[in-house]
Every structure is written in C-alpha cells, then in structure tokens.
A and B are shown apart, each in its own frame.
Chain A
Amino acid sequence: MISTDAISTLRADTPSRPLVAKLHEWVTTVDHKRLGVLYIVYALVFLVIGGIEAMIMRIQLIRPHNNFISPEVFNRMFTMHGTTMIFFVVMPMLFGFANYLIPLMIGARDMAFPRLNAFSFWLTAFGGILLYFSFLGANGLYGAGSAPDVGWFAYAPLTSQTFSPGHSTDFWTLSLLVSGFGSIGTAINIIATILCMRCPGMTLGKMPLLAWLNLVMAVLVILAVSPLSAAQIMLLVDRYLGGHFFDTQAGGSAVIWMHFFWIFGHPEVYVLVIPAFAFASEIIPVFSRKAIFGYPVMVAATVCIAFIAMSVWAHHMFTVGMNANANTFFVLSTMAIAVPTGIKIFNWLATMWGGKIHFKTPMLFSIGFLFQFLIAGLTGIMLSAAPFTWHLGNSYFVVAHFHYVIVGSILFTTFGAFYYWFPKMSGKMYNETLGKLHFWLFLIGFHLTFDFMHIPGLLGMPRRIYTYEPGRGWDTLNLIVTIGVFFQAAGILVFVVNLLLSYFHGETAGSDPWDAWTLEWSTSSPPPIYNFATIPEVRSRRPLWDLKHPEDPDWKYE
C-alpha cells in the first residue's frame, strides 16, 4: 500500500547553495517536475507578453478611425498574439502540467525518456525566443527588425517572397518548426510513459482520467503537428529553393496550404481542450466529494472526439468555395462532434449532482468553465451550419467563439489547475481571498470582452482590421470589449501577486490539502525527486479513497 510517512523522513534539509549552482541545476535538469515547472513559468511569461499584444490591439479598436498604432503594427500584433498564445502559452502550459502530474498520478518516478523531455522543453523554449527575436532581426542586414505580419494561420500566397519580403515569415516558420519538434518529442514521451510506466495494479481502466485524456491528446499532437511541420518545410522550399507548392503566381495552390494548416489546426483545438477537460475531470469530483460519473463513457467520448477531430478540418474553409457535397460532409462531421462533447458536459453535471460542492477557487474556475464551454459549444453548433458560417466566418463572431474555447474554457480550467495543484508543487497554500478576487475580476472581464464581441460579428465586422468605419453599429460594442480587457488584466495581476505572495509567505499545505483521491496526494508537497519512496500499488481509480475508507473501497464496485 501507500506509504506517506516514509517519504517525509527521507527529505533531508539541503544546505543552501549559491544561486549559480541552483540555476545550473534548473538548466540541466531532467526531472519531470522541474521541467514541468519550467514549462509553466515559461508559458506564464509568454501569457503576459501575448496579453499585452491583445491590449495594444484593443486600445487601437476602442473607437473608429483611431490612430494609436499603424496598420503595419496592428497586423504584427494579431499575428504575434495568435502565434504566441497557441504555441507558446497554451501548449507549453498544458505540457507543463502533463509533465508534472502524469508520473505522479500513475505512480512512476519520472517520464519514460527524461533526456528527451529536457530536449523537448528547450526546443519549445528556443522556438519562442526565435519568434520574438524577429522584432530585432527579421530583416537581417538590410533593415530593422519586424515581427511576422501574415496572421497566425499564414495563408498563402501572403507568405511568398513577393508579398512577404525580408525574413519575418521565416522567423515564424522556423520557430514553429522548432517548437513543433519539441511538441512531438513530448507527445511521444507522454504516450510511452502512460503505456509503460504505470504502477502495479493500475490497468488502463484504473488510470486517473487526467492520464487517459493526456494520452489521447498526445496521439493527436503527433497526428496534427506532423502535417504542420511538413507544410512549414514546403513553405521554406517555396521561399528559398524555388518550389511552387503555394506559389500561386507559378501555378501553386493557396488552397493546399489551407488544407495543410487546418488538418493541423482543428485537431490542435482538441490538443488544447482535452487537457482542459482533464483538469475539470480531476477537480470537479474532488470538490463535489463524489467519484466521476460514467468513467468509461468519459474515456470513450474522449477517444471519439479525437477520431472525429481528424475529419472536421475543412469547416474552417466553408467560405473558400468548396462544392456543395464537400461542404455538406464537413457540416455532418462537425455537428457529430457535439455528441461526445455533450456527453462530457452531462457527466460533469451528473458528478456534481447529489454531491456536497465546496466552492474553493479551483471549483469556481471549473464551474465557470462548464458555463462558458456550454456557450462555446453552442456557438460551435451555429458555426457548423455552413451557410451561417458564410456570414460568421472570419467575423468577430468567430473570434468571440474561439476565445470562449481558449480563454473561457481552457484558460479557466488551467487557472483552476493552478490553484488546485499549487499546494502540491510549492508546498504552500495559496491565498483563498485573492484567488476568489482573481476569479471574479477575470469572470467579469471575460464576459464584458467576449460576450459583447459576438455582436459586431453579427453586424458585419470582419476580424483582423486595424480600424473600422463609424456608423455601422460597432462603436459602443468595441468600447465595452476594450473595457473588459482591463478587468482581465487586473485579474491576471491579482493571480501573479497571489502566486508570488503564497510561494514566499503562504502557509504550509501538507501532502493532501483537498482530501483528494489520486496518487500525487500520497507523497509530500513538493514531492521528492524520486516521487515515491516505495512504488505504490493500486486496486481502483481512487487509491486514496480506498485508503481513507477501508470499510467502503472503490474496488468493490469497479
């Protein structure tokens, strides 16, 4: 069984070492927990940078014909904001949590390939730095720097030498290529870890849902990032070796790029949202004090989502002039994905049903996630009806929809995960009052910004415009949207203050502050480098429940 006392006695106090030695340890580490923390801190830094880019855009759009920034700068801002948030915030953040939690939750001492793990992190890290170096060096010797300005999905032929001279597009291409290899490395590592490193007794059917969902996510990463990397290489061949894949002036096809990008781009949405589901699937049961409802169905629904996610990509292309039959097929596949996602929402609700819900910060963020993910799903159904998307595609409605997914769903659960696992990672308890303040500020800001952002789209406002004409009914709405951004920024500020304050002055958390049920709570906080003094042995999905309720263990029912 699980031994907790043995571990704490083994944690001897290490004598304080010079700062350089500590930094050296962080740089050369292959420990999954340290790499997880590195991923997360790295993502937080880029979250602030990407957020500042968003604020710059929102200030420019606060009123029609505003002159805060030039069109060139605006175009760089939305390109960098999108690229940063997807590839250098959300992905590394989720990889960080996966790295940190998966070995702990499956009772392993590290990932399957610790050195590949470190290599993958540093590839991702240098990818992000390379992207931002473009501000200084993109135009090389013959001009000042400038960031990429082709949009985060970089449609051809805007990326060709003709329309994008200099090197800004190359920085974009290379940084995604480099970090893409990092992502594939991490995905292979996650799959190998989950398939090969589970502790005795933990069959696939007894894994925590977080491990299951990250397994599915990792498979999707391999399927999705590979075509993106291929397309980036083709683009480089076009730009430097005389290829004509996407060079329309030489007979190439702009539409082929769209297919390549979105066969990455749509599974990517699920790469990002499935780990968010994973957080919710751990947090909601613990704070409702009930086992997850319908565990096998949750797993099946996730696998089903992954399968369907590979066949929906062209719903991003309803306006590019596909024929009626192709459009109809992608309507059907896209609508079909609503079924397994709906099942998941109902299962989370059923988990709360009849429970005793503790409204701690992680649970508040998870409830916010349920509400927002419901709306994101419903606007998704609207967008799956192709003729509706002939209007809504590339409008602010779509922008609002996918921010409902990425901010309202993924970022909300990620904040929940931060508060939930902060005591485990730091050994300190966060400040509950500041946590709730963060939640409410961010919730208000989120709804001010993204609820009102739907409406200009319905009134004909396309995305990616640096300014707009007065008299189209967009002015007041854009003002409200911009005001909401400042509430969100205040929320993030409270979050960062809370993290720092709690890390340095927080109360000691203890190994199991939430009275939770998965293996990571059986070891000390923070866990020792070897995680478990003796490898645990489990008999059910909730080993700590069994331990705490020997009279009524789970394994009798599973």
Chain B
Amino acid sequence: MRNRSDWRMRFAVQVMVLLGVPTAALADPADRSLSPTNIFAPASTPAHSILALSLFVLAITAAIFVLVFSLLLYCVVRFGKRADDDGREPPQVYGSNQVELAWTVIPVLIIVVLFMATARVIASIQKAAQPGNAVQVIAIGHQFWWEYRYPGLKVVTANELHVPVSDPAHPTPTFITLLSADTDHSFWVPRLAGKTDLIPNHPNTMWFDPQQTGLYLGQCAQYCGTQHAKMLLRVYVQSGREFNRWIEEQSQPAQASAAVSEGKRIFETTACINCHAVTGTVADGRFGPDLTHLMSRETIAAGAAPNTLENLRLWIKNPEAIKPGSKMPAMGLSDHELDAVTAYLATLR
C-alpha cells in the first residue's frame, strides 16, 4: 500500500507543476510586443497605479489559490477510498467552532487589507485635481465613431485623438469630458487608463498623462449597436511642439482648390452635407465626422480601414463593404461622380 500512496503523491506534485507552466509562460506580461492593448504595459499615471494594485491583488489571490488548491488536492489524493477498504464508515465529525472562527477571521483581515489598497487607488485617480495647464478635450460617442472637440482651440476632429506627451517633471495631463450623442459607449485605451463609459445625459470625465510619444490603440468597450466591433480608438501622443503644430493646422478652415470644383459641387449638393461638416463651406452636418482635415488622418470609418484613395472611394460607393451596419449610406453616385468627390476629399488636408 505504501507504493500506491507514493504514486498518488507523485501525481499531486505533477499536477502542481503543470498548473505552474501557464504562469511561467506569462512571466513577462509587461512585454508590449505581446499586444498593443496590453493592460500590463502601462504608459500613463492612472494605468500605472491600476497595474500596481492589480499585481498586489494578483499576488494575494495567487497565494490563496495555492493554499486552497493544495488542500483540495491533498483531500482528493489522501482521502480517496483505498482498494483494501474495510467498508466501515469513517469517523463522523460534525464541525468545530474554533476552526470556523479561524477561517472567518483570516479572510476578514485579508479583505481589510485589499479594501484599503483599492480605496487608495480609487481616490488617487478619481479625485485627482485638474492642473491649469491640462489639455481639455470633449469626446462624444456616436454610432459608430468618435467626435473630439478641443474647446478654446477651435479644433473639431474625429476618430484620431491627438494629445501632448506629459513630462513627469511638468505634467500636462489630458482631461476628457465624455458625452454621447446616441447610445452608451465606453472609452478604453488600455495602456493609458481604465475605461469610462459615455452615456447620454450623463457627462463623465477621465484623464491620462502619457509619458511616451507614439500611437495608442483601443476600442469601444460598451455594446452600442450593430458596428460596436469596428468603433476603434486611436490616440496619437505627440511632443509638445508637434502637438501645437497639429492644433495650428487643424484650426485652419479648408483650402478651396479650383481643380476639384466639380467634386466640391457634388459634395455640397447631395446628402453628404446632411451629416458632414467642412469648415469654411456650406457643409455643416454633425451626424458624421468633420471632414475639414480628413486627409490628415491615417484611417477612415473609425479605424476600420487605412485612409487611402481606393478605400475612400469604396467607402462612398459601398460602405457595407468596409463596415456593414454603419450609419453611412451608399450614396448611389456614378463612377465619374465618385472620382470627382474622392478627388475633392483628397484636397482636405
């Protein structure tokens, strides 16, 4: 019988080792090459404080797991019915107040510690004061795209948010007011901050202070309708100088060019202007993205496709091919008209 018992213990050890393997595979979760939307690769203060709390919670829960799982495994291995069982019932134990008290008090203490740590992080993020030099943005969720307004800077853009990098010595955080034009949405760029919902009639705020320049990705995280999946977020973090130049360019009205007057005429005399605005022209619709500086963006249709002339033309001709269920209708233009409108849009730099 000794042999059988050894075999069971070896089995137990092997199970423990096997469970450890996936943990080892994730040993370097901060590796951002794993994913551009990895929550373990923070690049901004709120994301950093969340990560620190997360690792603390993970460590405690991992310890509890190892302890309780070992107990379970020990019970299964040690107390399994043996082949030479005598058929008698084991001693009946009905309970023990001391033991019950122990496994009530210890979890309570653990909970107190976890709660204090969590409450601290909640306050540090939600009660952070807005410094005078903070960049202010209004983000408005639409089915199925993002509108960004920079109040005071006269800039309106869509889908690609530009913010300045924040030097930890002199922070220039970005504070975003979150609104919705229709249904619920949620703003989630994992490397910058946790998500906050955009809810109609319920303005919310969030902030981040990215410490490295670059492109940060994310997407809508609250189901908002048919094309919830292709409501992608792109945040461009630029140096202070580049950001100021971008603001300067974006605050200019569109430059008219005589060469594309036919496309401009078609654009302004069809349904396009019901939804789209081009500053400095009659187009002032607000249901769709502002197109004044369309060609300064890298993507169209809320990140669903790269902003190439072919994609732009296809998007006007048949939006279903790129983003089925989007609110952009097929415009029913002839090939010639399509070319002209595409050429006009290509001048909106």
Decide yes or no whether B17 CB sits under 8 A from chain A: no
Q: Mark A357-395, 1 if CB is under 8 A from B, else 0.
A: 111000000010011001100110110111111111111
Interface positions of A from 145 to 189, Cβ below 8 Å from B: 149, 151, 155, 157-158, 163
> Does chain B have a CB within 8 A of A458?
yes
A241 within 8 A of B: no
Total A-B pairs, Cβ < 8 A: 281
Mask: chain A, 325-358; 1 = CB below 8 Å from B; 0 = not: 0011001100110110011011101101111111
Confirm or deny: A293 has a beta carbon within 8 angstroms of a beta carbon on chain B.
yes
Chain B nearest CB from A331 CB (Å) reads 5
Q: Are A390 and B195 in contact (CB under 8 A)?
A: yes
Report the minimum CB–CB distance from A140 to chain B (whole Å).
21
The answer to whether the Cβ of B204 comes within 8 Å of any Cβ in the partner chain is: yes
Digit string of A55-73 for contact with B (CB within 8 Å is 1, else 0)?
Answer: 0000000000000001110
Closest-CB distance, A277 to chain B (whole angstroms):
16
B201 touches A458 (CB 8 A): no
Q: Is the CB of B85 within 8 A of A356?
A: yes
Q: Does B348 contact A (CB under 8 A)?
A: no
Q: Which of A282-323 contact B (CB under 8 A)?
A: 288-291, 293-297, 319-321, 323
- Choose among A293, A320, A389 the residue that contacts B93 (Cβ–Cβ < 8 A): A293
Q: Is the CB of A319 within 8 A of B195?
A: yes
Closest A residue, CB atoms, query B325: A71
Q: B52-71: contact bitstring with A at CB < 8 Å (1 yes, 0 no)?
A: 01100110110011001101
- Which of A293, A331, A342 has the most chain B CB atoms closer than 10 A to its own CB? A342
CB-CB contacts of A458-490 with B at 8 A, as 1s and 0s? 111111111111011110000000000000000
Say yes or no: is A227 at the interface (Cβ < 8 Å to chain B). no
The answer to whether A352 and B114 touch across the interface, beta carbons within 8 angstroms, is no
B94 CB to nearest A CB, Å: 6
On chain A, the number of residues with a Cβ less than 8 Å from chain B's Cβ atoms is 98
Q: A321-B199, A332-B115, A394-B186 are in contact. Are A289 and B122 (CB under 8 A)?
A: no
User: Which of B34, B36, B53, B127 touches A385 (beta carbons < 8 Å)?
Assistant: B53
Q: Is the CB of B194 within 8 A of A319?
A: yes
Residues of A within 8 A of B229 (CB): 71, 464-468
8 Å CB contact of B127 from A324, A393, A469? A324
User: How many whole Å from B70's CB to the nearest CB in chain A?
Assistant: 11
A474 contacts which chain B residues (CB < 8 A)? Answer: 35
Contacts A254-B184, A378-B61; is A321 near B39 (CB within 8 Å)?
Answer: no
Partner of A371, one of B40, B69, B186, B194: B69
Least CB distance, A346 to chain B, in whole angstroms = 5
Cβ contacts under 8 Å, B36 to chain A: 460, 471-472
Contacts of A528 in B (CB 8 A): none
**Does A550 interact with chain B (Cβ within 8 Å)?**
no
Tell me whether B53 and A387 are in contact (CB under 8 A): yes
Is B232 touching A469 in the complex (CB atoms < 8 A)? yes
Considering the chains assembled together, what is the distance between the CA atoms of A71 and B259 in angstroms?
40
Q: Are B75 and A465 in contact (CB under 8 A)?
A: no
Binds A, one of B153-161, B213-221, B249-257, B308-316: B213-221
Provide the residues of chain A in CB contact with B94, threshold 8 Å: 291, 293-295, 557-558
- Whether B37 pairs with A354 at a CB distance below 8 angstroms is no
A253 at the interface (CB under 8 A from B): yes
Whether B122 contacts A462 by the Cβ 8 Å rule is: no
Asked whether, in the complex, the Cβ of B57 is within 8 Å of the Cβ of A254, the reply is no
| B83 CB, nearest partner CB in chain A, Å | 12
Q: Are B126 and A324 in contact (CB under 8 A)?
A: yes
Q: Is the CB of A324 within 8 A of B325?
A: no
* Interface size bracket, B side: 35 or more
CB < 8 Å neighbour of B202 from A253, A345, A384, A549? A253
Are B219 and A462 within 8 A (Cβ)?
yes
* Nearest-neighbor residue (CB-CB) of A380 within chain B: B61
Are the C-beta atoms of B228 and A290 separated by less than 8 Å? no
- Tell which of B99-107, B134-142, B276-284, B285-293 binds the partner: B99-107
Partner pick for B221 among A289, A323, A394, CB 8 A cutoff? A394
| CB-contact partner of B49 in A249, A350, A387, A468, under 8 A | A387
In the assembled complex, B307 has its CB within 8 A of some CB on chain A: no
Q: Whole-angstrom distance between the alpha carbons of A469 and B303 in the complex?
A: 10
The residue that A297 contacts in the complex, of B100, B143, B184, B325, with Cβ under 8 A, is B100
User: Does A252 reach chain B (CB closer than 8 Å)?
Assistant: yes
Q: Which residue of B lies closest to A382 (CB)?
A: B57
Of residues 61 through 93 on chain B, the ones whose CB sits less than 8 Å from some CB of chain A are 61, 64-65, 68-69, 71-72, 75-76, 79-82, 85, 89-93
**Using Cβ atoms and an 8 Å threshold, which residues of chain B touch A357?**
75-76, 79-81
B3 within 8 A of A: no
> Are A319 and B197 touching (Cβ within 8 A)?
yes
Chain B residue contacts of A288, Cβ below 8 A: 79, 90
- The residue of chain B having its C-beta at the shortest distance from the C-beta of A155 within the complex is B184
A266 CB to closest chain B CB, in angstroms? 18
User: Are the C-beta atoms of B325 and A72 separated by less than 8 Å?
Assistant: yes
- Is residue A251 contacting chain B, with contact meaning CB distance below 8 A? yes
Residues of A near any B CB (own CB < 8 A): 70-72, 75, 149, 151, 155, 157-158, 163, 248-249, 251-255, 288-291, 293-297, 319-321, 323-324, 327-328, 331-332, 335-336, 338-339, 342-343, 345-347, 349-350, 352-359, 367, 370-371, 374-375, 378-379, 381-382, 384-395, 451, 455, 458-469, 471-474, 549, 552, 554, 557-558
Which 9 A-B pairs give the minimum distances between C-beta atoms? A390-B194, A460-B37, A473-B35, A321-B204, A465-B229, A294-B95, A248-B200, A324-B126, A459-B35
Residues of B within 8 A of A (CB): 22, 26, 29, 34-40, 49-50, 53-54, 57-58, 60-61, 64-65, 68-69, 71-72, 75-76, 79-82, 85, 89-96, 99-100, 103-104, 107-108, 111, 114-115, 117-119, 121-123, 125-127, 143, 178, 182-184, 186, 188, 190, 193-197, 199-202, 204-205, 217-230, 232, 324-325
- Given A71-B325, A387-B122, list of 10 further CB < 8 A pairs? A70-B325, A71-B324, A288-B79, A289-B89, A353-B79, A378-B65, A382-B54, A382-B57, A386-B122, A464-B228
Interchain residue pairs with CB less than 8 A apart (30): A72-B324, A151-B223, A157-B182, A251-B201, A253-B202, A294-B95, A319-B195, A320-B199, A343-B103, A356-B79, A356-B80, A358-B81, A381-B114, A387-B54, A390-B194, A391-B54, A395-B221, A451-B22, A458-B29, A458-B39, A460-B37, A460-B38, A460-B190, A460-B217, A460-B219, A465-B219, A467-B229, A472-B37, A473-B34, A558-B94
